[in-house]
Protein backbone atom coordinates (compact mmCIF):
# COMPACT_ATOMS: atom_id res chain seq x y z
CA UNK A 1 0.00 0.00 0.00
CA UNK A 2 1.27 3.46 -0.88
CA UNK A 3 2.44 5.61 2.02
CA UNK A 4 3.28 9.32 1.79
CA UNK A 5 5.34 11.48 4.14
CA UNK A 6 5.62 15.26 3.74
CA UNK A 7 8.54 17.31 5.00
CA UNK A 8 10.15 20.71 4.51
CA UNK A 9 7.61 22.96 6.19
CA UNK A 10 8.52 25.65 8.66
CA UNK A 11 8.49 29.36 9.42
CA UNK A 12 9.51 31.74 6.65
CA UNK A 13 9.29 35.50 6.14
CA UNK A 14 7.08 37.00 3.43
CA UNK A 15 8.91 36.87 0.12
CA UNK A 16 10.92 33.85 1.19
CA UNK A 17 11.03 30.34 -0.22
CA UNK A 18 10.50 26.78 0.94
CA UNK A 19 10.68 23.41 -0.79
CA UNK A 20 8.28 20.74 0.38
CA UNK A 21 8.98 17.06 -0.21
CA UNK A 22 6.56 14.15 -0.48
CA UNK A 23 8.39 10.85 -0.11
CA UNK A 24 6.58 7.67 -1.08
CA UNK A 25 7.05 4.10 0.04
CA UNK A 26 5.25 0.83 -0.62
CA UNK A 27 4.76 1.66 -4.28
CA UNK A 28 6.12 3.93 -6.98
CA UNK A 29 4.81 7.41 -7.74
CA UNK A 30 5.80 7.05 -11.38
CA UNK A 31 2.86 7.42 -13.80
CA UNK A 32 0.55 8.28 -10.91
CA UNK A 33 -1.19 11.63 -10.51
CA UNK A 34 0.22 13.52 -7.51
CA UNK A 35 -1.18 16.69 -5.98
CA UNK A 36 -0.34 19.22 -3.31
CA UNK A 37 -3.18 20.56 -1.16
CA UNK A 38 -3.42 22.98 1.73
CA UNK A 39 -5.86 23.66 4.52
CA UNK A 40 -6.33 26.39 7.12
CA UNK A 41 -8.69 26.28 10.12
CA UNK A 42 -12.30 26.91 9.15
CA UNK A 43 -11.72 26.46 5.43
CA UNK A 44 -12.00 23.60 2.98
CA UNK A 45 -8.88 21.84 1.78
CA UNK A 46 -7.88 23.30 -1.57
CA UNK A 47 -5.74 22.04 -4.40
CA UNK A 48 -2.48 23.91 -4.89
CA UNK A 49 -0.71 22.01 -7.66
CA UNK A 50 -1.03 18.70 -9.47
CA UNK A 51 0.98 16.56 -11.88
CA UNK A 52 -1.08 14.86 -14.57
CA UNK A 53 -0.39 11.21 -15.39
CA UNK A 54 -2.20 11.56 -18.72
CA UNK A 55 0.02 14.01 -20.61
CA UNK A 56 2.66 15.11 -18.11
CA UNK A 57 1.05 18.51 -17.63
CA UNK A 58 1.27 20.42 -14.38
CA UNK A 59 -1.53 22.47 -12.91
CA UNK A 60 -1.60 25.31 -10.40
CA UNK A 61 -4.24 27.18 -8.48
CA UNK A 62 -4.58 30.78 -9.65
CA UNK A 63 -3.37 32.02 -6.28
CA UNK A 64 0.05 30.36 -6.68
CA UNK A 65 0.70 30.54 -10.44
CA UNK A 66 4.13 31.95 -11.16
CA UNK A 67 5.27 31.41 -7.57
CA UNK A 68 5.04 27.64 -6.98
CA UNK A 69 6.52 24.81 -9.02
CA UNK A 70 5.79 21.10 -8.77
CA UNK A 71 8.33 18.48 -9.84
CA UNK A 72 9.08 14.78 -9.55
CA UNK A 73 12.25 12.74 -8.96
CA UNK A 74 11.44 9.18 -9.95
CA UNK A 75 14.80 7.84 -8.73
CA UNK A 76 13.98 9.04 -5.22
CA UNK A 77 10.26 8.27 -5.52
CA UNK A 78 9.60 11.81 -4.34
CA UNK A 79 7.55 14.78 -5.51
CA UNK A 80 8.47 18.35 -4.59
CA UNK A 81 6.70 21.67 -4.28
CA UNK A 82 9.03 24.64 -4.65
CA UNK A 83 7.34 27.68 -3.11
CA UNK A 84 8.73 31.13 -3.88
CA UNK A 85 7.61 34.67 -3.07
CA UNK A 86 5.61 33.35 -0.16
CA UNK A 87 2.77 35.43 1.24
CA UNK A 88 1.07 35.33 4.66
CA UNK A 89 -2.03 33.92 2.97
CA UNK A 90 0.03 30.87 1.99
CA UNK A 91 0.11 29.85 5.65
CA UNK A 92 -1.52 26.44 5.96
CA UNK A 93 -0.94 22.76 6.55
CA UNK A 94 0.25 21.33 3.25
CA UNK A 95 -0.60 17.77 2.26
CA UNK A 96 0.42 15.64 -0.68
CA UNK A 97 -2.12 13.32 -2.22
CA UNK A 98 -1.85 10.52 -4.74
CA UNK A 99 -4.10 8.63 -7.12
CA UNK A 100 -5.28 5.11 -6.36
CA UNK A 101 -3.49 3.69 -9.39
CA UNK A 102 -1.08 4.61 -12.14
CA UNK A 103 -2.18 5.91 -15.55
CA UNK A 104 -5.52 7.26 -14.37
CA UNK A 105 -6.91 9.90 -16.72
CA UNK A 106 -6.02 13.36 -15.42
CA UNK A 107 -6.29 15.55 -18.51
CA UNK A 108 -7.68 18.58 -16.72
CA UNK A 109 -6.82 20.53 -13.60
CA UNK A 110 -10.05 19.62 -11.86
CA UNK A 111 -9.74 15.92 -12.64
CA UNK A 112 -6.08 15.84 -11.60
CA UNK A 113 -6.97 17.26 -8.19
CA UNK A 114 -9.89 14.85 -7.80
CA UNK A 115 -7.91 11.76 -8.78
CA UNK A 116 -4.95 12.65 -6.54
CA UNK A 117 -6.95 12.40 -3.32
CA UNK A 118 -6.97 8.68 -2.59
CA UNK A 119 -3.79 8.47 -0.49
CA UNK A 120 -2.74 11.21 1.93
CA UNK A 121 0.34 12.14 3.90
CA UNK A 122 0.26 13.51 7.45
CA UNK A 123 0.86 17.10 6.37
CA UNK A 124 3.53 19.69 7.07
CA UNK A 125 2.95 23.15 8.54
CA UNK A 126 3.97 26.21 6.53
CA UNK A 127 3.85 29.56 8.32
CA UNK A 128 4.62 32.79 6.47
CA UNK A 129 5.10 35.65 8.90
CA UNK A 130 7.51 38.45 9.69
Please check whether residue 77 is in contact with residue 28, taking contact to mean a CB–CB distance below 8 angstroms: yes
CB contact at 8 A, 126 and 10: yes
H helices, E strands: number in the chain: 1, 11
Q: Is 110 exposed, middle or buried (0-12, 13-18, 19+ CB in 10 A)?
A: exposed
Per the CB < 8 A criterion, the answer to whether 34 and 52 are in contact is no
Task: Give, for all 130 residues of the chain, the pLDDT tens digit.
Answer: 899 999 999 999 999 999 999 999 999 888 899 999 999 999 999 999 999 887 779 999 999 999 999 999 989 999 999 999 999 999 999 999 999 988 888 789 999 999 999 999 999 999 999 9
Amino acid sequence: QLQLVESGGGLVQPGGSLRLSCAASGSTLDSRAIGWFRQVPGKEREGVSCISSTDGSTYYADSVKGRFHISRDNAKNTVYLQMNSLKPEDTAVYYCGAAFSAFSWTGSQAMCFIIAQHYWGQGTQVTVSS
